[in-house]
Amino acid sequence: MCVLGCCFALFSCSAATMAEPGRQGGAQSFPVSQPKDTNDSITIFITGNELGAMKPCGCSGGQLGGLDRRKAIFNNAGQMNRLIIDTGSLVETDSPQDLIKFNIIVQALGLLDYDLASLSERDSEIAESLGMWDQISSLVNVISAYGSGASGRQKSFTKNLPFKDGTIAVTVAALNTEDMPAGEISELFELQDDYKAVNLLIVDDCDSDIISSVAEMGIVDCLICPSDNDEPEVIDDSQEGFLVFSVGQLGKYVSRLQISEVEGELTYDFSAIPVTEDLPQADSLIQLYKSYQQIVKEENLLEQYPRFVLPDGLEYAGSESCRICHWYECDKWGTKAHAGAYATLEKVGSQYDPECVICHVVGMDYQSGFVSEQETPDLKNVGCENCHGPGSEHNITFGEALTTEPKSSCVDCHTPDHSAEYAGNEEVYLEKIVHWRQNESTDTPAAEN
Amino acid sequence: MKRTFEVFVVLMIIGGLVYSAGAQEQPEPPKPAPETKVGSEQAEMPEVVVLGPKIKVENPTHDFGKMGPGSKNKCEFRFKNVGDDVLKISKVTKTCGCTVPQLSKNEYEPGESGTVKVTYSASKRAGAVSKHLYIQSNDKSNPKTTLTIKGEVENKIGIEPKNLKLTLKDENAGCPPITITSLDKKPFSIKKIQSTGNCIVAKFDASEEAEKFVLEPEVSIAKIKKNPQGRIDIDLTHPSTNRVTVSYNLLSRFKVDPPKIIVFNAEPNKPTKKEVWVLNNYGEDFEIESASSEKGIIKILSQEKVDGRYKFELEITPPETKDLRKIFTDELTVRVKDGEKLRVTCRGFYSRKLDTGQAEK
């Protein structure tokens, strides 16, 4: 809590507001200006819950996010007066691909001049299993509420920032609510006797009991909760001197907490800044993403991708095998965007990334489906068998056996994250792939699928 | 009398001055609020406030309450043009992944109402949801009206365990039963079960409907050795949850600790020492036949067997590079005597302190 001299002064959360939601849309651009090193306020940038999202896939316009665009936002605050924190959950799983992402995101935090990373339980386990604790600490200060204390892991971190004519001490602590009751958080924060202090607490659970018991302690100024939402949000600002918020997920927004002084009281201004496409990309982060693509290629993740077995001995046959009978449809399909889906990946160097490739080829979820351009060239692109099902039996029986499941539906790939405009415009999208004779309706995919 | 008159005049002057001064200090009395009138009377009004088009949403927040994962949820937002000019809606934008059909019309006369219909496909992950849509219009005071949809995605199906930790040592790879429970008590059937590489199968009766199923999975050891990591997808007929997934991991014979060598803050030609251990997860004795580096960046300083485990002391020397933003990679291959090959990848990131080309700074 804010301590001024030996007297407690009240914090005012009166200005703690979520940026007007209407200002958070993709169209809103964040002004990129020269950093200011004035001591009238301090800025705390908070990100977290990346869950492996390093960059939007770029499959549709208006996507938010990208580690490479964060720097443009951070640079709007002077280096002396800012603190940059990541609250952790860098990746979602411990899959081989997520382990690669973990290394890359950690390196990115270093390149982006983060002051602090608070590692989640999974992050800690990964750091432990990769023997990376010390190495991460060489890039960025690390705290975590998880793991044994034997490795000397810190649970709190303090940085003094110049403020007005003095200093403000910002302490960030991490709490595992199962490990330590919220009522015992005082040991995470050192009371500052001779200058102002702001205490932030990152928690793994945020039910109303936890919020109220943290509030009652009167030590914490800002409680940072986990989030299942993409957008950051103010969860509770009803109590004076106590702000509860979440930082969103998937790196689509950067949360900004601006602290200034009005009539002797500290005030917060909380806002969510969208990481929009028009923000400039940092060169070092672009290069880092290329390194990620290189590693993904070298580790041959495509071949290691876990695959199901098609039912009844079915196999994928490739779109060219359909042409012999369905020449009209194949020719028409060849003029549509689906027929060039793989090339769009090659343009951006993502043709070895399973997370991208799966929506640009045939049958990657199954044995006999796409493995690589060299091994399975006929299964590149979004082909006949994506929607109509594997064709081996249909071909062998000259069409007598109808194609069967598994058949992909449009929304398997046209998700809100990857194809933002699809929902609500299904008919328009369907029109783009018409490759059947318009007066025939057999086996035509339904737009709502 | 004359004196009385003089006094009266003086008092009048003073009074006048006082009134005048007082009048200057007094705030102007509030003017009556201007009214907007129609017809011939309007011309007589000295001031007319033009409202212009003005959008008013009846209830800008809709709470769906509890939603099933992946469920489709519908709601409507009613709005009215409470202004005095035609409200033109240019578009409805969204950050929610909602379906918003085109509005039947884009122009609304004063007093006219309209509706934005929203279909929201809930996330597949449980948790609170709050999303926004924006009505963009020619209402100058509110050109981007925010609509909010919120709710909570709640799992309607429980599955235990969510992860299977399998071993080669135990019968049936130590695979436990899998229990699937309807948390909302709605009965369901199992439609299909498929696993990575068909490693794990389980018998079920697709015609049976119940609130709870306990599956007894059967593991093919030969197949799972080829697919040591994967998942089981179980398709259901439950009205709000059509699929649940269980992941599995087979404990490999050998463990390399750490499984990858990562070097941050590397400097060209400045060697770093690392230790790597190889051990048998099943306590079997083993011998290492050879160990070698692909590119020579990793140098094996020593190799010794300690308490049934192998310890490698390695020296990693980052190569010279023209571009310090690029990474360096190498791979250590360890061959076990029975033919198993273990690969340990090494990745290094050069120190940013050396990188003078930080163009973005």
Assign 3-class secondary structure to A34-91: CCCCCCCEEEEEEECCCCCCCCCCCCCCCCCCCHHHHHHHHCCCCHHHEEEEECCCCC
Torsion angle, alpha carbons of B14, B15, B16, B17, to 10 = 50
Question: Same domain, yes or no, for A276 and A337?
Answer: no
* Selected residues 226-265 of chain B with any CB under 8 Å from a CB in chain A: 227, 229-231, 233, 257-260, 262-265
What pLDDT was estimated at residue A207? 85
What's the angle, vertex CA B216, arms to CA B215 and CA B219, rounded to 5? 125
Q: How many domains does chain A have?
A: 2
H or E element: which one contains B14? helix B2-25
- Do residues A280 and A106 make contact, with C-beta atoms less than 8 angstroms apart? no
SS (H, E, C) A365-376: CECCCCCCCCCC
Question: Same domain, yes or no, for A278 and A314?
Answer: no
Q: DSSP characters for B69-127?
A: TT-EEEEEEEEEE-SSS-EEEEEEEESS-EE-PPPS-SEE-TT-EEEEEEEEE--SS-E
Question: Same domain, yes or no, for A277 and A397?
Answer: no
Answer whether residue A348 is part of any domain: yes
Question: Same domain, yes or no, for A164 and A272?
Answer: yes
Question: Same domain, yes or no, for A377 and A286?
Answer: no
- Check CB contact under 8 Å for B197 and A367: yes
Question: Same domain, yes or no, for A89 and A13?
Answer: yes
* Selected residues 203-232 of chain A with any CB under 8 Å from a CB in chain B: 227-231
Question: Same domain, yes or no, for A235 and A87?
Answer: yes
Q: For testing the chain B interface, which of A111, A235, A253, A300 should be mutated: the one with the most B CBs within 10 Å?
A: A111
- Check CB contact under 8 Å for B262 and A132: yes
Question: Same domain, yes or no, for A356 and A409?
Answer: yes
Q: Which chain B residue's Cα is nearest to A106?
A: B264
CATH number at residue A205: 3.60.21.10
Question: Same domain, yes or no, for A377 and A404?
Answer: yes
Q: Which chain A residue's Cα is nearest to B100?
A: A424
- Check CB contact under 8 Å for A309 and B198: yes
- Do residues A348 and A58 make contact, with C-beta atoms less than 8 angstroms apart? yes
Antiparallel, parallel or unpaired: β B212-215 and B178-182 = antiparallel
Average pLDDT, 10 consecutive residues per value, chain B (361 residues)? 47 45 38 34 50 94 88 90 94 70 84 90 77 89 91 90 95 97 95 96 97 98 94 93 93 95 95 96 95 97 96 97 91 93 95 59 39
Residues spanned by the domain of A17? 3-290
What pLDDT was estimated at residue B245? 94
**Using only C-alpha atoms, what is the Rg of chain B?**
39
Instruction: Give the helix ranges, DSSP H, for A92-172.
Output: 96-111, 121-129, 133-137
Q: Is A71 on the interface with B (CB under 8 A)?
A: yes
- Do residues A1 and A241 make contact, with C-beta atoms less than 8 angstroms apart? yes
Domains and CATH numbers, chain B: 55-153 (2.60.40.10), 157-250 (2.60.40.10), 254-354 (2.60.40.10)
* Neighboring chain A residues of B101 at a CB cutoff of 8 Å: 424
Complex ipTM: 0.81
Question: Same domain, yes or no, for A8 and A56?
Answer: yes
* Selected residues 180-199 of chain B with any CB under 8 Å from a CB in chain A: 194-198
What is the interface size between A and B, counted as CB pairs within 8 Å? 139
* Selected residues 95-134 of chain B with any CB under 8 Å from a CB in chain A: 95-102, 119, 121, 123, 125-132, 134
- Check CB contact under 8 Å for A307 and B259: no
Residue B3 Cα distances to A239, B7, B16, angstroms: 72, 6, 19
Please count the other Cβ atoms lying within 10 Å of the Cβ belonging to residue B17. Answer: 10
- Do residues B62 and B75 make contact, with C-beta atoms less than 8 angstroms apart? yes
Answer whether residue A176 is part of any domain: yes
CATH number at residue A349: 1.10.1130.10
Q: Which chain A residue's Cα is nearest to B330?
A: A298
CA gap B349, B356 in Å, rounded: 15
* Neighboring chain B residues of A289 at a CB cutoff of 8 Å: none
Residue A264, classed as helix, strand or coil, is coil
* Neighboring chain B residues of A307 at a CB cutoff of 8 Å: 196-197
Q: Which chain A residue's Cα is nearest to B134?
A: A22
Answer whether residue A438 is part of any domain: no
Residue A60 in tokens: 């549709």
CA gap A365, A382 in Å, rounded: 14
pLDDT tens, N- to C-terminus, chain A (449 residues): 443 333 323 333 333 333 333 333 333 445 555 555 678 899 999 999 999 999 998 888 778 999 999 999 999 888 889 999 999 999 999 899 999 999 999 999 999 999 999 999 999 999 999 988 888 999 999 999 987 655 557 899 999 999 988 899 999 999 998 887 777 788 888 776 667 899 999 998 888 888 998 998 889 999 999 887 888 989 899 888 899 999 999 999 999 999 998 888 889 999 999 999 999 999 999 999 999 999 999 999 999 999 999 999 999 999 999 999 999 999 999 999 999 999 999 999 999 999 999 999 999 999 999 999 999 999 999 999 999 999 999 999 999 999 999 999 998 999 877 887 787 788 899 999 999 987 755 555 544 44
- Do residues A293 and A352 make contact, with C-beta atoms less than 8 angstroms apart? yes
Question: Same domain, yes or no, for A9 and A49?
Answer: yes
Please count the other Cβ atoms lying within 10 Å of the Cβ belonging to residue B343. Answer: 13
Gap from A194 CA to chain B (nearest CA, Å): 35
Specify the amino acid at residue B146. Answer: T
Looking at residue A2, the DSSP 8-state letter turns out to be -
Answer whether residue A345 is part of any domain: yes
Q: Give chain B's count of helices (H) and strands (E).
A: 2, 26
What pLDDT was estimated at residue B277? 97
Q: Which residues pair with B272 in a beta bridge?
A: B316
**Domain end (from A235, A259, A290):** A290
Q: Which residues contact B54 (CB under 8 A, 6 or more apart)?
A: B81, B82, B83, B84, B87, B139, B141, B142
* Selected residues 153-182 of chain A with any CB under 8 Å from a CB in chain B: none
**Using only C-alpha atoms, what is the Rg of chain A?**
26
- Do residues A46 and A255 make contact, with C-beta atoms less than 8 angstroms apart? yes
Q: Is A287 on the interface with B (CB under 8 A)?
A: yes
* Neighboring chain B residues of A26 at a CB cutoff of 8 Å: 93, 95
Q: Which of B95, B359, B360 sits opposite A25 (nearest CB)?
A: B95
Q: Is A101 on the interface with B (CB under 8 A)?
A: no
Gap from A291 CA to chain B (nearest CA, Å): 6
What pLDDT was estimated at residue A22? 30
Residue A392, classed as helix, strand or coil, is helix
Answer whether residue A218 is part of any domain: yes
What's the angle, vertex CA B135, arms to CA B131 and CA B139, rounded to 5? 140
CA gap A38, A412 in Å, rounded: 50
pTM of the shown model: 0.83
Antiparallel, parallel or unpaired: β B272-280 and B212-215 = unpaired
Q: Is A284 on the interface with B (CB under 8 A)?
A: yes
For residue B298, which of B278, B322, B273 has the smallest C-alpha distance? B273
Specify the amino acid at residue B94. Answer: K
What pLDDT was estimated at residue B29? 38
Question: Same domain, yes or no, for A350 and A202?
Answer: no
* Selected residues 229-248 of chain A with any CB under 8 Å from a CB in chain B: 229-231, 233
Q: Is B61 on the interface with A (CB under 8 A)?
A: no
- Check CB contact under 8 Å for B100 and A424: yes
Answer whether residue A442 is part of any domain: no
CA gap A57, A355 in Å, rounded: 9
Answer whether residue A325 is part of any domain: yes
CA atoms within 13 A on the CB side of B277: 13
Q: Which chain B residue's Cα is nearest to A292?
A: B327
CA atoms within 13 A on the CB side of A255: 30
Answer whether residue A227 is part of any domain: yes
H or E element: which one contains B291? strand B288-293
Gap from A413 CA to chain B (nearest CA, Å): 13
